[in-house]
Amino acid sequence: MGTNMSKKPALRVGIIGGGISGVALALDLCRHSHLDVRLFESAPAFGEVGAGVSFGANAVRAIAGLGLAEPYGQVADRTPEPWQDVWFEWRRSSDAGYLGASVAPGVGQSSVHRADFLDVLASRLPEGIAQFNKRAASVEQQGDEARVLFTDGSDYRCDLLIAADGIKSAIRNHVLEGLGAAPVAPRFSGTCAYRGMIDSLRLREAYQAAGIDEHLVDVPQMYLGLDGHILTFPVKHGRIINVVAFVSDRSSPAPIWPKNAPWVREASQREMLDAFAGWGDAARVLLQCIPAPTHWALHDLAELPGYVHGRVALIGDAAHAMLPHQGAGAGQGLEDAYFLARLLGEPQLRASDLSALLESYDALRRPRACRVQRTSWETGELYELRDPAVGSDEQALGATLASRFDWLWNHDLDADVAEARARLGWATLSDCA
């Protein structure tokens, strides 16, 4: 023991899962001397399955709030000028007729390749914080301590355990059981997506040859049809066009994905083209430029009755995995990380505050994340002309889509943090320090 007896021992914070939310949170928390942070990742190294991920204005603000604006800027893409504020232009599937546009001022379509973003985040993590080949098997709690057991037989004890281990979370059911709720497994949405990347010069040439407007290459597009929709947006500074073509099978109200079938597989171009037979030239020529698409079965989670049990909290997809139709899933994980980082980073934080802190996290973050989950599903219905109010009414569709996402993008996360601080009896002044 040192002579300075007044120094409190650092609070031990364990983070399970080295995806974007977990690493972003660890990066912020490890700056604080009152916290001892450890991050555990099941894989041998950081890495995400390669796919583009998009961020709304709310997520871009959370990224900046976590001190990550500069690394994000290094790898992020946005729509080229003069269309930099366009999120998507909406078009008819049959002939690419214009239905309207959604504009996100100052942000537009902001996206990044998951692996690129994770690389730049992980490279900033100080030595010794992350441990690999650590797959969580189970959690137990005793008193004010959580203990996570790993499949390699080792364990870790902490004052706070944060599960950022994704839609297939190993820790979620511990929380639900603690709340007296039934376990929740990922559910298949009935929608599958074909994904591919196209060299933008190749697409431009193909569109020129077919007499299709090249504007469709430069600006994010979404083609809307019955039970299907296709989105495109430029990435890698316009050199590559990211394409995701969604198709929904509505034959069953509760579709089931075969237990042993992989969620992601290789697909043939023929299979993809057959799924969009009868669509117009812009869609057909686009898909013909993808020789070997991948096929993704889209899963989400039901809204959970709680994200916290004792000293264990769920964040990101472990708590609220959602469909990608609002480009909002990763952003909700980053909002979780920002909210917790602002509170856990408070120098006056004591172990005795943790229960109230987690209570405020659940009370303030869960209703919003649940709403984003719910509306992400509803938005997919809208895109595929199945919205009960709008259907295939093109005028209503254009008008609805123009303003539909404002509540999502314009959310004031700092007001949530201020509300949590008030609940904890903390002055808000130190936020300005």
Tell me the pLDDT tens digit for each residue of 92-117. 999 999 999 999 999 999 998 888 99
Domain with CATH 3.50.50.60 in the chain: 11-83+108-186+302-388+405-431
H-only helix segments in 222-290: 269-275, 281-288
For residue 433, the model assigns a pLDDT of 45
What average pLDDT is seen over the chain?
94
> What are the residues whose beta carbons fall under 8 Å from the beta carbon of 433, sequence distance 6 or more?
none
CATH superfamily of 11-83+108-186+302-388+405-431: FAD/NAD(P)-binding domain (3.50.50.60)
Among all chains, which residue has been given the structure tokens 């010069």? Answer: 201
Domain with CATH 3.30.9.30 in the chain: 187-300
394 has a pLDDT exceeding 50: yes
What percentage of the chain reaches a pLDDT higher than 70? 96
Asked about 404 being catalytic, the answer comes back as no
> CA nearest 62: which of 412, 433, 426?
412
184 has a pLDDT exceeding 60: yes
> CA nearest 432: which of 413, 418, 422, 420?
418
For residue 428, the model assigns a pLDDT of 66
Kindly compute the dihedral angle of the four CA atoms of residues 68, 70, 72, 78, in this order, to the nearest 10 degrees.
Answer: 140
User: Which stretches of 292-379 are assigned E, i.e. beta strand?
Assistant: 294-300, 308-309, 312-314
Mean pLDDT, residues 356-378: 98
348 has a pLDDT exceeding 50: yes
Helix then strand then coil, in percent of the chain rounded to 5, is 35, 25, 40
**75 CB burial (10 A radius; 0-12, 13-18, 19+):** middle
- The DSSP result for 130-152, as a single string, is EE-S--EEEEEEETTEEEEEETT
Q: Are 397 and 382 in contact (CB under 8 A)?
A: yes
Among all chains, which residue has been given the structure tokens 């808000």? Answer: 428
Mean pLDDT, residues 72-85: 91
- pLDDT tier at 295, thresholds 50, 70, 90: very high
Return the DSSP state at 236: T
432 has a pLDDT exceeding 60: no
pTM greater than 0.85 (yes/no): yes
Cα distances from 357 to residues 291, 349, 351, 363, 419, in angstroms, run: 51, 9, 10, 10, 11
- Distance, CA of 133 to CA of 124 (rounded, Å): 20
Q: Give backbone dihedrals phi and psi of 40, rounded to 5 degrees, phi first.
A: -120, 125
Bridge partners for 299 per DSSP: 188
> CA nearest 329: which of 340, 313, 318?
318
Q: Are 280 and 308 in contact (CB under 8 A)?
A: no
2 has a pLDDT exceeding 60: no
- 12, 91, 172, 195: the catalytic one is 195
CATH ID of 187-300, from 3.40.50.2000, 3.30.9.30, 3.30.1360.170, 3.40.50.720: 3.30.9.30
Q: Are 202 and 208 in contact (CB under 8 A)?
A: no
Among all chains, which residue has been given the structure tokens 């991920």? Answer: 53
The 3-state secondary structure of 46-111, one letter per residue: CCCCCCEEEECHHHHHHHHHCCCHHHHHHHCECCCCCCCCEEEEEEECCCCCEEEEEECCCCCCEE
Mean pLDDT, residues 196-209: 97
CA 160 to mean position of chain CA atoms: 23
